[in-house]
Structure 1
Amino acid sequence: MSISINDLGKDFQLSIFAAAMERGAGLVAVRELASGKLLYINETGMQMLGTTDYAELEALMQQNNLGDCDATIAAPGNGGREEREWVNKKGEKQWGVYEKLPFKHAMQHYCFFRLSTGIVSGSYYRQQIEKELERFGALFDYASIGILVANRQGLITMINDFALEQFGYKRKELLGHAVEQLLPQRVRDRHVQHRERYNAHPQSRPMGIGLDLYGIRKDGTEFPVEISLSHYQNEEGTFVIAYINNITERKKAEEKIEKLNNELEQMVEERTLQLRKAMEMLEASKEDLTVALGREKELSELKSRFVSMASHEFRTPLSTILSSAFLVKQYDAEEDQAKRSKHIQRIVSSVNLLTDILNDFLSVGKIEEGKIQVRPVNFQVEELVHNVIQEMQGISKDQQIIDYQHSGQPEVVLDPSLLRHIVMNLLGNAIKFTAADGTINVRTHRDEEQFRLMVADNGIGMSEEDQQHLFERFYRGANVSNIQGTGLGLHIVSKYSELMNGSISCESELGVGTTFTVTFPFNNNHTAAE
């Protein structure tokens, strides 16, 4: 009795092999790997593919990627079995188990492969899809955040249990209804417009940045929410996913923290007062006390100078507001409208001046505390300077001419807010210190190496001694004591320039005029853009 096929004769082995291949279930074939030529295919295989034509059979093999063995398939543990889809000559799609095995004969490489039938659909892949759907269902239904999906018309198509619990609805009460049902009545119309704009340009982002958002429950009570938006698209259309987080507890915590901060500030003030009293009583540590007193003196001088400057600068606009307000009240006749308008404009100008002074004080405080953040972006510098000049026309003198020209590349990478402040300050000084019939030249230039801003006037100019202290806090030239100013503007300009890695220089001559030049190296701009 033979227990191995090798014990049989070769002819008998071939007969057994031929019978198995011809009568076996499914397609059985052999291709030569070097040429891709189809050497053999059984009758069942031709029936499955729907043709007996050799050329059509080879084309179908190529189309279905059958018989593409490589050496790795025969490696131990790799196998060559997979469930896959294939098409016959009529284009009908079928599913089957595909197996392939490379072998070598007479120094030539071949691929033996077979394709079984009888699989209605891709059960393996179907199982994988079902598993993924189960995972998705678990994530969607058991997430600890509200999730809803709405179509392009704003109708709710899906909503998870957490969101239903948040809003107090049952699922059937929301599916197919507009998302605006979950919003307070006062914002529903605006939300429709916001939704349409989002559909036009969908992107993943937080909703209502900087705004307090609220949802409304079924019982009419409102609660603060935080919402993030995402989107996806399939054959059914475009859908928006909203992730809704009830932040009621966070709001309470924030209020509690704010209250604690206020209490802490009060405690700090009280402890500071106690510390000052204790320091006065310390006679043993005289040297430390002297140092502390010196620092206190410096701070006191700075505060005194600040108070003196503020009271001096506020006096004129406040007096103007008071007197103009009194006169407006006196001009109550209809023919006095022109006089009333004149004094109202004086009040507006004085208020604007007060605002500018306060802004200077606040800017210096932020600079000293390191709270100024540089946010460089790419923008059109010529447009920015034109806009500033247009705004400054309101404070320019009657016959003054502001001549602006730009050369070189149109775009720079800087912080537009800081650059705008620099231009406004330099241009404001030029207007202030130039005669009513004078000319102010503004030039900007952008080349491969740097960006340069120049503001030149033919005003009163300044001495060399004043130029040495020009950018110090509260410093004002000897020849401008009768002109409104805080002495902070150029200090702020120099600090803003340094924050953007730039530098400022000044050329001035008494009675001739002054030119300020601010330069920003190109390498700094390029680095900021990256």
Structure 2
Amino acid sequence: MDNKIGFDVLFNNATIGIIVTNDKGRIILANPFLLNQFGYEENEVLGQLIELLVPTRYQHKHVHHREGFNKHPHNRPMGVGLDLFGRRKDGTEFPVEVSLGNYYTEAGHFVIAFVSDISARKASEQALINLNAELEAKVDERTRALSDMLEKEKGLNELKSRFVTMASHEFRTPLSTILSSIFLIARYETTEEQPKRYKHIERIKSAVNMLTDILNDFLSVGKIEEGAIQVRYSEFDIRAHIENIISELVGLLKPGQVIEYDHIGKTILTLDPVLIKHITINLLSNAIKFSPGGKPVKLTTTYVGDELELSVKDQGVGISEEDQQHLFERFFRGENVSNIQGTGLGLHIVAKYTELMNGKIECFSELDKGTEFRITLRPHN
């Protein structure tokens, strides 16, 4: 077999695209595999510039690169580090890999290019990139979830620690009251001493209620931290609801104290009545606790337009500007009320319940001039 026959066999049966151009960049040979890759017949490419097979947006640059290669020809891969594309007859594009060679004959200088369609490889690479991205996203998601779990666990552990500290202090007073009252009751044996027994029974009831309130605060915070509180919307009469709540708090009032309640606007709305009750009881209890006897506590609800505003205003000890920055933090208590019984959880709970109903809470206060807490909510239509 002579060289010509050997070349023809390799050229025509190669499973890679082969194309030969002259020093002007015109195609003089293209093997069947290449023609099939690009969708052309042989007569459609012979004599055409090689840019026929290059996407339009790259043709100008390709001419420049081709001329540069012809000035300094050497065998090498084309476009190392770049994404190369070929353009089929129908205008579609596909990724290619090109190796360049050159040779000289009596007829002149020629360039030979070996063109591989790397669509399958690029698809595999992209699939691998997508898979890696998905895996990274899952890792990030699980890392965030684990971080959230650890943060919650840390918060719960802190809550337990603070509970132990608070309990050892806050439980001591009511328990001591209960113990001393029971001891004294046992000593009152005659009928004439019945008023004294009643007095200590009331002290025991008050102390038990205090312990119940403390435990309820801790239970509420625990449920909030665990995400176990759900907002349950229902339609109710806000004025009647608040009046019922006030009636339950009469026993907390100091001598001469009254709760003055006023409602403005519509009365029927849709919110969570249970959370509204918790918020109102907390705010009223604080107002009663931190106000002197003989001074009224004012409660106003206003339902105008699409907003409900609940305001509780007292004439008590007030809150300093510095303390107002920390009011809604767990266990925080103002410096001027450290001698008054409390867990420092009430306002934290109020703020969280308000947040659950997508509302906002504001505080307006001055030392020794009283405090107003204002809750703004948007009832469901």
Fold similarity call, TM over 0.5 = yes
Equivalent of 1:435, from 292, 300, 317? 292
Q: Which residue of 2 aligns with 1:330?
A: 187
CA deviation after TM superposition for structure 1 residue 449, in Å: 2.0
Q: Which amino acid aligns with 2:165?
A: S
1:397-428: CA deviations, max 9, x gaps?
01112110001001121111110010000000
Alpha-carbon distance between aligned partners in 2 of 1:426 and 1:483, rounded to the nearest angstrom: 16
Counterpart for residue 409 of structure 1:
266
Alignment of 1:97-496 (within 5 A): 301-496=158-353
Match of 1:479, SS state, is helix
Q: Distance in 2 between matches of 1:416 and 1:311?
A: 33
CA distance 1:307–1:442, change in 2 (3 Å): same
Runs of at least 5 residues in structure 1 that lack an aligned partner in the other structure = 1-292
SS where residue 379 of structure 1 aligns? Answer: strand
Q: Tell me how far apart the structure 2 counterparts of residues 437 and 301 of structure 1 sit (CA, whole Å).
A: 40
Per the TM alignment, residue 298 of structure 1 is displaced from its structure 2 partner at its CA by 7.3
1:267 aligned partner:
none
- Aligned-pair CA distance for 1:299: 6.4
Distance 1:300 1:407, change over 3 A: closer
1:497 matched residue in structure 2: 354
The verdict on how the C-alpha distance between 1:473 and 1:336 changes in structure 2, with shifts beyond 3 A counting, is: same
Structure ranking higher on relative contact order (CA contacts 8 Å, 6+ apart): 2
Instruction: Please list the CA deviations of residues 465-495 of structure 1 after superposition, one character each: whole Å capped at 9, or x if unmatched.
Output: 1000000000000111100000000000011
Q: CA deviation at 1:304?
A: 2.8
Q: Of the candidates 348, 360, 366, which is equivalent to residue 509 of structure 1? A: 366
**Distance change in 2, residues 1:396/1:383 (3 Å):** same
Letter in 1 for 2:184: L
SS of 1:441's partner is: strand
Q: Is the 8 A contact 2:290 2:317 kept in 1?
A: yes
CA distance in 2: counterparts of 1:297 and 1:452, whole angstroms: 35
Shift in Å, 1:521: 2.0
Question: The residue matched to 2:232 in structure 1 has which SS?
Answer: coil
> Residue deviations 1:495-521, cap 9 Å, x none?
111111111100000000000000002
- Aligned pair in 2 of structure 1 residues 421, 300: CA closer, same or farther (>3 Å)? closer
- Residues 328 and 517 of structure 1: is their aligned pair in 2 closer, same or farther, counting only changes over 3 Å? same
| Letter in structure 1 aligned against 2:299 | V
- Do the aligned residues in 1 keep the contact of 2:152 with 2:226 (CA within 8 Å)? no
The structural deviation recorded for 1:332 is 1.2
Q: Which letter does structure 2 place at the counterpart of 1:508?
A: S
C-alpha contact 2:155 2:225 (8 A) present in aligned 1: no
Cα gap change, 1:294/1:439 in structure 2, threshold over 3 Å: closer, same or farther? Answer: closer
Secondary structure of the residue aligned to 2:335 is coil
Residue identity in the other structure for 2:346: G
Kindly indicate whether the alpha-carbon contact (under 8 Å) linking 2:156 and 2:225 is maintained by their aligned counterparts in 1: no
Give the structure 2 partner of residue 62 of structure 1: none
Amino acid at match of 1:413: T
4+ residue segments displaced more than 6 Å: 293-299
Q: Distance in 1 between matches of 2:343 and 2:364?
A: 21
Look up the SS of the partner of 2:202 in the other structure: helix
Q: C-alpha displacement at 1:311, in angstroms?
A: 1.4
Distance 2:152 2:271 in 1: 37
| Residues 430-464 of structure 1: per-residue CA shift (max 9 Å, x gap) | 00000011111000011122011000000000101
Following TM superposition, by how much is the alpha carbon of 1:305 offset from its aligned partner in structure 2, in angstroms?
Answer: 2.1
In structure 2, what is the Cα distance between the partners aligned to 1:300 and 1:519?
A: 32
Closer, same or farther in 2 for the Cα pair 1:331/1:470, shift >3 Å?
same
Tell me the distance in 2 between the aligned counterparts of 1:294 and 1:390.
41
- 2:260 maps to a residue whose letter is D
CA deviations 1:149-194 (Å, max 9, x no partner) are xxxxxxxxxxxxxxxxxxxxxxxxxxxxxxxxxxxxxxxxxxxxxx
Residue 384 of structure 1 and its aligned partner are, at CA, apart by: 1.0
Q: Supply the distance in 1 between the matched residues of 2:272 and 2:167 (Cα, whole angstroms).
A: 29
Cα drift, residue 306 of structure 1: 1.8
Distance 2:250 2:341 in 1: 18
Q: Deviations over 1:20-77 (max 9, x none)?
A: xxxxxxxxxxxxxxxxxxxxxxxxxxxxxxxxxxxxxxxxxxxxxxxxxxxxxxxxxx
For residues 480 and 364 of structure 1, the distance between their equivalents in structure 2, rounded to whole angstroms, comes to 21
Deviation, structure 1 residue 296:
8.8
Measure the CA separation in 1 of the matches of 2:276 and 2:233.
Answer: 10
Query: What is the deviation of 1:302?
Result: 4.3
| Partner SS for 1:469 | coil
Identity of aligned residues (%): 60
State the one-letter code of the partner of 1:443.
T
CA RMSD of aligned residues (A): 2.0
C-alpha distance in 2 between matches for 1:483 and 1:364? 21
- Seen in structure 2, the aligned counterparts of structure 1 residues 308 and 401 have a Cα distance that, compared at 3 Å, is same
Structure-1 separation of matches of 2:234 and 2:247: 22
Equivalent-residue separation in structure 2 for 1:482 and 1:356 (angstroms): 18
